[in-house]
Amino acid sequence: MRVAVPMETAAGERRVALVPETVSRLSAAGFEIRVERGAGVAAGFADEDYASSGAELSERADLAAGAEAVVRVARPTSAEIAALSSGTVLIAFLQPLTDIEGIELLRQQGVVGFAMESIPRITRAQSMDALSSQATVAGYKAVLLAADRVPKLFPMLMTAAGTIAPVRALVIGAGVAGLQAIATARRLGAVVSAFDVRPAVKEQVESLGASFLELGVHGEETAGGYAKELSPEEQAKQQAALEERIPDFDVVVTTAAIPGRPAPRLIPATAVERMSPGSVIVDLAAETGGNCELTVPGDVVDHRGVTIDGTTNLPSLMAFHASQLYSRNVAALLQHLAPDGALALDWEDEITSGTCVTRLEAAS
Ligand code: NAD
């Protein structure tokens, strides 16, 4: 199977879909990998490393010719979709729940689209779970951004000049990113509390050495392990409870999300106004609108001395390891779709059919 790896073109995207380590493994398994010159440079992978891993380096114009699959991180632009031949397999974060137009373009073009967001969350597919691998990186980076901005040391320090109290951090949403944020904040020495609407999470939070913040709000969980959206009354109750508790914290990392829906609004401006000057909110949900009312996606704002960091695409800021993990996820999916290095799509298979968002009419 011939696989093409283009350089990412989305603004600010530094990751690459396959790294040299994975190229070696896929080449040994019978895949032919062609990589656009410079595709890995922003993530720290040189063309020479790809060449010595068995990839063929190519200019953009020649990249997709003869390729049976194109693997990317971000969804392609409409011009990039138009350049794909009918029947090409495309693997990327295709945003199937929100980019309706893009998905329709793929369908019209006859592209066989596999969305990394749609990998079923079952044990067999864990090695392909790119939402989790990238959320892990984002959760880690969110805490580092907060640590960089807050004018306090995270750990308690006992010095000749006296004792310094540790930072008090709150993590809201204890899914994959939130749990990594808790672990990272703990490693830096903060005293950490966390909250999630899924009651099952309490134990995981406590096993990481954080305390579970009781807000009196309990949500439901879907079969896939995701939270269900709260009713407007419950959401108002959560906002009020948080407003009460939030002044206790120096750092707040929010990661609350409902797949395919705008981010739940958890922190109203009135709550921010009760925080001490110098406090920091890092809003990991900025991309889908933000968990804080004052978040400006892609920007860092100051509201009465409180910093609200709405930086988007945090995994791209840690492009080396984010790409390495993503690349392994993509390789696992490729090997699932082409077990012996030749494409063999089994539509009865839960991973293949669950991840596919567009396919040729004849194949359906
Ligand atoms: P996500 O990114 O969709 O959401 C992040 C977190 O926000 C979730 O924990 C959710 O409960 C929480 N949340 C939603 N609304 C909230 C609110 N109003 N207030 C506070 N928190 C709120 O989810 P995710 O991190 O990708 O995954 C969630 C869960 O899915 C995981 O913790 C795990 O249980 C499950 N999962 C399973 C597998 C698997 O392979 N079986 C893999 C990954 C994740």
pLDDT on residue 335: 98
Q: How many residues does the chain have?
A: 364
Mutation to probe ligand 1, out of 128, 197, 355 (largest number of atoms < 8 A from CB): 197
Residue 145, SS3 per DSSP: helix
**Cα–ligand 1 centroid distance for 227 (angstroms):** 6
- What CA–CA distance (Å, rounded) separates 218 from 153? 33
Burial environment of residue 39 by CB neighbours within 10 A (0 to 12, 13 to 18, 19 or more): buried
Find out whether the beta carbon of 176 lies less than 6 Å from any atom of ligand 1: yes
The string of pLDDT tens digits covering residues 202-242 is 999 999 999 999 888 888 888 777 888 888 888 888 888 88
Q: Pick out the chain residues at pLDDT < 50.
A: 363-364
Tens digits of residue pLDDT in 114-151? 999 999 999 999 999 999 999 999 999 999 999 999 99
CA of 46 to the centre of ligand 1 (A): 35
CB contact set of 206 (below 8 Å; sequence gap of 6+): 212
- Quick one: which atom of ligand 1 is closest to the CA of 229? 15
Pocket test for ligand 1, best of 126, 176, 239 (most atoms within 8 A of CB): 176
Kindly give the distance from the C-alpha atom of residue 12 to the centroid of ligand 1, in angstroms, as a whole number. Answer: 26
Q: Which atom of ligand 1 is nearest to the CA of 123?
A: 40
pTM of the model: 0.95
Pairing of strands 32-36, 56-58: parallel
